[in-house]
Amino acid sequence: MASATVALGDEKMKKMGSRKDTNKAASLYTRLGGKKGITTVVNTFVGNCAGDSRINAFFAATAADPKRLAEFKSLLVDQICEASGGPCKYKGKDMKTAHMGMGVKDADFAALVEDLVKALDSNKVGQKEKDELLGALGPMKSDIVG
């Protein structure tokens, strides 16, 4: 299932990100379970990345320092919270600056997305919400890969 979502590729992420949601019943933030739900997904996601030999080297220094790891998770929560229409404000570096010089390749980004989808699946996030979140985060790829 995760690879199917990843295989949909950048084009779907672009389309999903540009689509206007006409259903005003509940924001994506609310449907993700608010900050508590997002925090649960982020904790699972970070664990998935740490266990993924394809990309865990990118996170080794952060994972080795508990204070740095807590800050990283907090920034991810705020980023997803803001991107999903929640009240949080992401205060970290822009994605281009944060990933400058890291040498992130397309395959690395695909692995990261796969780990995020696995986290969303394991936390029972619905397909509509997954698509919306990936659509909101997908445009960051051009600032991360390079």
CA distances from 60 to 25, 33, 111, 120, 145 (A): 41, 29, 16, 23, 18
Taking the domains of the chain in order of start, what are their residue ranges?
36-144
Q: Are 49 and 73 in contact (CB under 8 A)?
A: no
Whether the per-residue pLDDT at 53 is higher than 90: the answer is yes
Least confident among 35-39, 69-73, 84-88, 98-102: 98-102
CA pair distance 15, 145, nearest whole angstrom: 19
CA 4: distance to chain centroid?
17
**Residue 24: which pLDDT band, with cuts at 50, 70 and 90?**
low
> What pLDDT does 25 receive?
75
pLDDT tens per residue, range 80-101: 999 999 999 999 999 999 999 9
> What pLDDT does 16 receive?
42
> What CATH number should be reported for the domain whose range is 36-144?
1.10.490.10
